[in-house]
Amino acid sequence: MFSLMLSLKEDIEGAITRDDVRAIVITGLKGKFSAGFDVTVFGGRRDNKEKRELGFMSIQFVTNTLEAARKPVVAAIEGPAFGGGLEIALVCLTELQYGILPGLGGTQRLPRLVGLRRALEMILMSKRVNGEEARNMSLVDAIVPADELPGVARQWALDMLECRRPWMISLYRTDKLEPLEEARTILKSARIEAQNQNPNVVHPFVCIDVIEQGIISGPHNALWKEAEALEVLRQSSTCRSLIHFFFSQREILKIPEMKLLPRKIEKVAVIGGGLNSCEIATMLVLESYRVVLKQKNKNNLLEEIGRVKENLQIHIKNGKSTQEGIEKAFDLLTGVLDYEKFKDVDLVIAAESESLLLKQNIFSDLEKLCPQHCIFATNTSRFSLKFLGEKTNCQNRISGIHFCLSPLMSIVEIVRTESTSPQVITNLIDFARKIRKTPIIVNEKKRFAIDDMFIKYLHAALVVAEHGVDVYRIDQALKDFGMRLGPFRMIDMVGFQTFAVSSKIFAESLVDRSYKPKLIPILQCQGFQVQMTKLSDAEMVEMILFPALNEACRLISEGIVIRSSDLDVASVVGMGFPAYRGGIIYWCNSFEPNYVNSRLEKWSKEYGEFFKPCDYMRELSANTVSLVSRI
């Protein structure tokens, strides 16, 4: 982006001096205006010339070249225009997602084009707007068909030259700005909201300060402050963490040796398994999938259909859907007692947890009845996928698909074996994205991998509570650290029954490092009050998160996950770990190599084997190698 802007600057300066050029149009190629800066230029410590000049390009190019041009300049936008590219056209800004602030004058021009309140919403929330919204808020001047865009843009520029259209410099407009006292009130509210949303980061507050300076002291001085702030923020740990998380999210969809096009999944069958199958069915019909819900008998089937209906009604109460939308979703659901409707399904999710023999027979029956492309997935982890497909000739179509702890959470674990075909995994990744879930690909183990990390986190919170710390204090300490929800609030959201079942499976599989919580039966029936201990909040956070980190190390050492960064994404998307810390693995980089291990060793002696560090953690500590540098 930087070299592109230098080239663009030279071209425009050349056009300005040419007598045969009357006006200038900036446009993109093949339906794309600009995707913004390459984020790899942010977050590093190298102080090269390109990085030093990033922020000051706002003044050198946008202000001194574009706005000061003696000829009209029109931006003809087709398709997306994000970040720095959008600051040239002033449409939307995504920089706060990377721990920085708009560095091409966006903090000064946007409030003057759309008003302070809307500008803060777009900048602080990185809100994207479509063309119609942009026109309604006077962010763009007109919308035209794509094939007419170049011609209309040229004519618009010539009309400006002939004074048939207004030729205004956005930097000095004030007609959309709120009165000063109202602006101060809006900025104060924005600071409070930023504090509530992200208490441990500074870049939203720096951004608000720069906007305020432009309103009070004038935009030109604020442009210099914007440029200086960008230089500081791009070298911050927050920026590096958010850039790491950004690339981790992109990497998660890249599976080695898989470059196949996905086959579309349109119809899904769910074989009943109580609350879980109802939640899965609800989620799928809300995403416009045709769903066949199978149960063993009529009473169970009617009960599950009733639960789906109740789940849909909750969406109306929460304002997430309308009555019409819910009715359309419910019409996509078909309840059955046999496999007749399975003849054209693309995916079967077996959500029940019956005996191995029964599940083997189900998969054998499905192979005979379902189309040859149909994927057979299990949502439980009690039995090996290899054993489940033992009576079939289609082990290449058998996989695990697990909605971690609850289908309500936005992460899904896709489990593969050595036999699972790349096409099946490709199809399931696409399916997960279509239902707005983040897919994590894992190699098979006896349990679902991501749940292990989550459950250790929740169990550690129970250990702390059972040793005398108030549950409300625990939740608040984790929220202050940056977790989206405290552990007990998360248990409440997931459901005590779901958590109890997951905990039982974990305990049965891993007797040596599991913990049998005594609080769950109490929490299920009544509240309680316990006495607080002298444990500091910082120690409490470590005591609750380090066991999850320890389990993550096991997953890495056992080759369960493809990349360690996948666990960073899982921790942020699933556990609610703060993205501005990079994820639970990346967070380790803030500690000395042996610190986590020594703390776990200490707690294991005081509180039992639950805290015992794994061999991989001990190896890292012995070699004084940080987890991040090793993996």
Please check whether residue 401 is in contact with residue 379, taking contact to mean a CB–CB distance below 8 angstroms: yes
Q: Is 82 a residue whose pLDDT tops 70?
A: no
Within-domain flag for 307: yes
Specify whether 228 is catalytic: no
Give the pLDDT mean for 13-36. 75
Q: Are residues 432 and 360 part of one domain? A: yes
CATH of the domain at 621: 1.10.1040.50
The tokens for 569 are 């994404």
Within-domain flag for 260: no
Question: How many Cβ atoms sit within 10 Å of the Cβ of residue 290?
Answer: 18
Give the pLDDT mean for 381-392. 80
Last residue of a domain, one of 445, 477, 509: 445
Within-domain flag for 441: yes
CATH of the domain at 104: 3.90.226.10
Q: In this prediction, what percent of the chain has a pLDDT beyond 70?
A: 80
Question: 535-567 b/e with 16+ CB inside 10 Å = b?
Answer: beeeebbbbbbbbbbbbbbbbbeeebbbbbbbb
Which stretch, 114-128, 194-208, 374-388, 487-501, has highest mean pLDDT?
Answer: 194-208
pTM, rounded to two decimals = 0.81
The tokens for 422 are 């790349």
Within-domain flag for 250: no
Within-domain flag for 10: yes
Q: Are residues 458 and 414 part of one domain? A: no
Q: Are residues 200 and 93 part of one domain? A: yes
Q: Are residues 574 and 529 part of one domain? A: yes
Question: 471-497 b/e with 16+ CB inside 10 Å = b?
Answer: bebbbebbeebbbebbbbbbbeebeee
Specify whether 95 is catalytic: yes
Catalytic, out of 95, 226, 279, 352: 95
Indicate left, alpha or beta for 364 from its phi (over 0: left) and psi (-120 to 50: alpha): alpha
pLDDT single digits (tens) 480-528: 999 988 998 888 776 655 555 555 554 555 545 555 555 545 454 444 4
Q: How far is CA 38 from CA 3, 30, 82, 198, 229, in A?
A: 11, 19, 11, 25, 19
CA distance 23 to 72: 5
Q: Are residues 402 and 282 part of one domain? A: yes
- The count of domains in the chain is 3
Confidence of residue 625 (pLDDT cuts 50, 70, 90): low
Q: Are residues 479 and 441 part of one domain? A: no
Its domain, for residue 346, covers 267-445
Sign, CA torsion 270/275/280/284: positive
Ordered DSSP codes for 391-425 = T-S-GGGEEEEEESS-TTSSEEEEEE-SSS-HHHH
CA distance 591 to 567: 18
Catalytic, out of 13, 50, 87, 310: 87
Give the pLDDT mean for 537-560. 93
Q: Are residues 208 and 68 part of one domain? A: yes
The pLDDT value given to residue 427: 95
pLDDT single digits (tens) 308-323: 999 999 988 888 888 9
Q: Are residues 499 and 423 part of one domain? A: no
Q: Are residues 433 and 326 part of one domain? A: yes
CA distance 440 to 450: 9
The pLDDT value given to residue 91: 37
pLDDT single digits (tens) 213-270: 999 988 888 888 888 888 888 889 999 999 999 899 988 888 766 778 899 999 999 9
With DSSP H G I counted as helix, E B as strand and the rest as coil, what are the percentages for the chain, rounded to 5? 55, 10, 35
The pLDDT value given to residue 85: 45
Q: Is 73 a residue whose pLDDT tops 90?
A: no
Q: In this prediction, what percent of the chain has a pLDDT beyond 90?
A: 36
